[in-house]
Amino acid sequence: MSEYRSGLGWDVHRTAVGRPLLLGGVAIAAEFGLDGHSDADVLAHAITDAILGACALGDIGMHFPDTDPRWKGADSLKLLRHAVELAAAQGFTLVNIDSTVILERPKLKDYRLRIRESLAECVGLPVECISVKFKTAEKVGPVGEGRSAEAQAIALMQRG
């Protein structure tokens, strides 16, 4: 009989001029990007935590500390792939991912399919099993004022 586990992930990064804006490994055209020790892919980080969370394997900072020079500028899809492999070592396979990116601008909907395809390839699931949604913060708070971007994700894992 199959065992199912769900896991929740959340992340935030400050916006910064002169930095890339990467979401799920896809470069978004914008006059600013996201600051961080790694490549600051806020969506990949939230999904990585959702997968680790489903398997009770700790969190992203435990596996990839931001004080470790090995992860400076790291490709976050590699961290995500590593989380999938850690889960597989416990016998868990991914069923689906749902996610939301909260960013005031630019409009992201035209990137949706590309981001889903990039994530699907990374985690080894069909694109139909990867959902990516976008929201503004209605100009309110740090995200709404354009000072940061957030992402939320949930992952369902199956064992057996």
Applying CB under 6 A, the residues found at the interface with ligand C5P are 103, 105, 107-109, 134-136
Cβ nearer to ligand C5P, comparing 83 with 108: 108
Q: Residue 8, CB half-sphere, CA atoms under 13 Å: how many?
A: 1
Give the C-alpha separation, 113 to 92, whole Å: 26
Q: Which of the choices ligand C5P, Mg ion, none does residue 108 contact, using the CB cut-off of 5 to 8 A by kind?
A: ligand C5P
For residue 141, the minimal CB distance to ligand C5P (Å) is 13
Contact status, residue 137 vs residue 33, Cβ threshold 8 Å: no
For residue 137, CA distances in Å to 68, 80, 144 come to 33, 26, 5
> Interhelix angle for 42-54 vs 76-89, to 10°?
10
Question: What tokens appear for 116 in the block?
Answer: 């889903």
Cβ nearer to Mg ion, comparing 10 with 158: 10
Q: Which of the choices ligand C5P, Mg ion, none does residue 130 contact, using the CB cut-off of 5 to 8 A by kind?
A: none
Q: Is 102 in the site for Mg ion (CB under 5 A)?
A: no
Q: Is 45 in the site for Mg ion (CB under 5 A)?
A: yes
Cβ nearer to ligand C5P, comparing 23 with 87: 23
Q: Is 116 in the site for Mg ion (CB under 5 A)?
A: no
Cβ nearer to ligand C5P, comparing 70 with 109: 109
Contact status, residue 80 vs residue 123, Cβ threshold 8 Å: yes
Q: Is 39 in the site for Mg ion (CB under 5 A)?
A: no
